[in-house]
Chain A
Amino acid sequence: MSPLSTLTPLTVKKSSPARNRLRGGARYAPTLATVGLFIAMFAVGAGMYPSFLSGQVFLNLFIDNTFLIVLAVGMTFVILTGGIDLSVGAVVALSMMVSATLLQQGWNPGAVIVLVLLIGGGLGLLMGLVIQYFDIQPFIVTLAGMFLARGLCYVISLDSIPVTEGFFTGMAQAQIPLPGDLFVSPGVLLALGIVTVAFFVLHHTRFGRTVYAIGGNEHSAMLMGLPVKATKILVYALSGLCSAIAGILFSFYSLSGYSLAAQGMELDAIAAVVIGGTLLTGGTGYVLGSVVGVLVLGIVQTFIAYDGTLSSWWTKIVIGGLLLVFILLQRLFARKAG
């Protein structure tokens, strides 16, 4: 029926491997720019203040921002799918309030932690379900989640509740010595552990690759037969879980629960992710970039602390400025790619 096909000789393709590699390198460009920015800032700091150039100053960036690192990890998953989660700051506060209250009532710290993780993950799962099944913008759903979580904080207590329980205070004071008279807190190890797991999940599991695929082209991902719905719901559950973990880490750090805590922390998390090179439209970015984004935010604060004449509000202005620069960079990359 069909004539034997004659194999026509291969046409030479226009795209040479070398050029591909070059253009493929562009996907690391935003993240590399962030790394460069961080190194430059560190170098400037070292030039201005001799004590800046110390291992402990670097490690303190981690110690002071464990919770933000974990938040940024969860946010990276959400943003990679093209979504957004505004509830994270409020969920952090809720987690702190719940643990502080329950610890005050003499609960076992292990049970408290498990319960807090369940609440955070559950809230996230709920938001994911609403987003997916009712087709409402993530922005609005997570905004409602933010109201809900913050409102629950107020319901629990309007006052700050101190944490005096042994395990939490122990975690707050514990230092893990490193060679060279340096140390980190246990929270840092936990946060870095979570980053490692997230990296593995994003780059070495089908779930992680589906997250990227959804961000690249949700319709295609669906047509390729990938589990789009489940993945999108799970991403919000993960973000809720990360918020709960961040809440516990923040409790270790601040040893209290306060309903107004972590205000605007969702903005810091989003800023860290964007500055770390993740596209807000989804599909491109790295969880390690988000960590560098957190470090950049941290170093801005360190700078201001070292300077002494600069006031704390410069942090917000600088973060806003960095956000702007990176958003404009992203537009530029997007235009080039398109």
Chain B
Amino acid sequence: MRMNEIVPVVEMTDIAIGFPGVKALDGVDFRLFQGEVHALMGENGAGKSTLIKALTGVYAIDSGTITVLGEPKRFSTPGESQAAGISTVYQEVNLCPNLTVEENVLLGREPRRRGSIDWKGVRTRTREVLAELQLDHIDPGSLLSTHSIAVQQLIAIARSVEINAKVLILDEPTSSLDADEVRQLFRVIRDLRNRRVAILFVSHFLEQVYEISDRMTVLRNGKLVGEYLTRDLSRMSLISKMIGKDMEALAELDQAPARTRASNGAGVTPFIEAKGLGRKGSVSNVDLSIYPGEVVGLAGLLGAGRTEIARLFFGADKADEGSIKIKGAGQRIRSPRTAIDKHIGFCSEDRKEEGLIGELTVRDNLVLVMQASKGWARRIPRRVQDELVAEYIEALDIRPANPDALIKNLSGGNQQKVLLARWLVTHPELLILDEPTRGIDIGAKTQIQKLVNKLAADGMSILFISSELEEVLRVSDRVAVIKDRALVAEINNDDVSVEDVMTVIAGGAQ
């Protein structure tokens, strides 16, 4: 194999990076060779972006070594990494929308004559670079913001070609592109590969990874799982490596369905019914119904589009296609406010940014949704607050049982319970739980799972999202499988195993 004979362009050895309370990367090795497309795989939080940021000088590494073409390097700014020939194209296209295409290609490297930027030279050079990538149709003088995200990404690639990058990192480049645009991007990527550029490709789209990559490195929980040739690794084994269950263990995990309870047969109106729901750059064409008293699990890899679907249901993002019916009547959910008025609740996966009001007390956080619905003028009387808070602190076993503690000082599990209680006091008819058990201890986790079952038994509809397939199967009556930003299957949880679901995610490629 060629890769054993030559020196890698980039070699990272035993890399560790820690943030307060988290080991983001722990002893990870990574190598990248000329003329290959190397996919970095792993779920969200596995350490992919941290690894990329270490390589691009955004984060400093705590320990380990980075060599570029055999030379040891330490990057402390993006500029240093770029000077070493490493160039990155981020998902959110880090260019300047207010400047022209040619400026974005050459910003900071404009040809100059006696201190003055040689604009003719800029134009010529940009044309050359664009022509090299067969992108001659892009007008160098046009404003970047007038182009689609896809074209902006190609322009970002043109910038890295201009700086003669030896390494090109593409971080989720295809997440907001349509099929045509992806094809054009892949043509450029292959073209660069043939010109011996080393390409690091990160994507949540499994099929694209299989289409474009030669090799892959899999990370899980900040640790290296392994490095594989793409053609040697089946989709099935890739997924099991990403989520950390091997095939034998999976087979044993087969379990009896949690319960058979909800009847969603003819004659029953679903609480919510989405048809063709979608949003540009997010998910498309989602058909999903949830019946009263039913728990529907959303399964799929992190980043496949689960949270996006939840946000559309709750009006956190506005859908731009499709329709939603609630109890059989067509509705438009324009904002969280409208969703809440229609008795929908949503616990976000991002507790800190989208859930907690950290500097407020447990009491204030717990009654927030109810208070917001009542309006500012009609304060919930202290006595009622005390009763509600005491009731839910006891029911959910929130600790410390002190309503006046600041919520930011509680443990993750207890914070989560307060956020759950925030919705429960409003008696929603549909509760969307996005990763309700992530990052909390096992005791609290079991309590929450039990609670979900109890709520459903009392008639609530629940949309349950979790990265842990076992958990999804344990609590759900029905499982909707998401892959590559679309809903690919719905399975009644009769006799379903984790393996079955994974087979669906892998796309029956076996």
Chain A residues with CB under 8 Å of chain B are 1-2, 4-8, 10-11, 13-15, 17, 19-21, 23-24, 27, 200, 203-206, 209-210, 212-213, 215-217, 219-226, 283-284, 337
A1–B58 touching, CB < 8 Å? no
B116–A204 touching, CB < 8 Å? yes
Knowing A10-B134, A20-B146, A24-B141, the reply to whether A209 touches B103 (Cβ < 8 A) is yes
Partner of A21, one of B142, B180, B183: B142
The verdict on B468 contacting chain A, using a C-beta distance below 8 Å, is no
Closest to B81 in A: A225
CB-CB under 8 A from B36, the residues of chain A are 1-2
A206–B117 touching, CB < 8 Å? yes
The verdict on B304 contacting chain A, using a C-beta distance below 8 Å, is no
B141–A209 touching, CB < 8 Å? no
- Tell me the complex Cα distance, A210–B107, Å: 8
Knowing A7-B187, A200-B116, A225-B79, the reply to whether A2 touches B193 (Cβ < 8 A) is yes
The verdict on B137 contacting chain A, using a C-beta distance below 8 Å, is yes
Closest CB-CB distance, A230 to chain B, in whole Å? Answer: 12
A24–B146 touching, CB < 8 Å? yes
> How many B residues have CB within 8 A of the partner chain?
54
Q: At the interface, is chain A mostly helix, strand, loop or mixed?
A: helix
Closest CB-CB distance, A192 to chain B, in whole Å? Answer: 19
B143–A225 touching, CB < 8 Å? no
- Tell me the complex Cα distance, A153–B78, Å: 44
- Tell me the complex Cα distance, A15–B99, Å: 17
Partner of B95, one of A203, A205, A217: A217
Closest CB-CB distance, A81 to chain B, in whole Å? Answer: 12
Closest CB-CB distance, A27 to chain B, in whole Å? Answer: 7
Partner of A8, one of B99, B146, B187, B193: B187
Name 11 A/B residue pairs within 8 A (Cβ), A-sorted.
Answer: A8-B187, A10-B184, A11-B180, A13-B137, A20-B142, A200-B116, A204-B119, A209-B117, A219-B94, A225-B82, A226-B107
Knowing A217-B95, A226-B108, the reply to whether A4 touches B194 (Cβ < 8 A) is yes
B99–A20 touching, CB < 8 Å? no
- Tell me the complex Cα distance, A8–B139, Å: 21
Closest CB-CB distance, A227 to chain B, in whole Å? Answer: 8
The verdict on B396 contacting chain A, using a C-beta distance below 8 Å, is no
CB-CB under 8 A from B193, the residues of chain A are 2, 5
Q: Other than the known A200-B116, A212-B96, what 7 A-B pairs have Cβ atoms closer than 8 Å?
A: A5-B193, A13-B151, A15-B147, A209-B99, A209-B103, A216-B97, A216-B99
- Tell me the complex Cα distance, A22–B157, Å: 26
The verdict on B338 contacting chain A, using a C-beta distance below 8 Å, is no
The verdict on B44 contacting chain A, using a C-beta distance below 8 Å, is no
The verdict on B331 contacting chain A, using a C-beta distance below 8 Å, is no
- Tell me the complex Cα distance, A19–B1, Å: 50
- Tell me the complex Cα distance, A210–B141, Å: 18
CB-CB under 8 A from A337, the residues of chain B are 97, 145
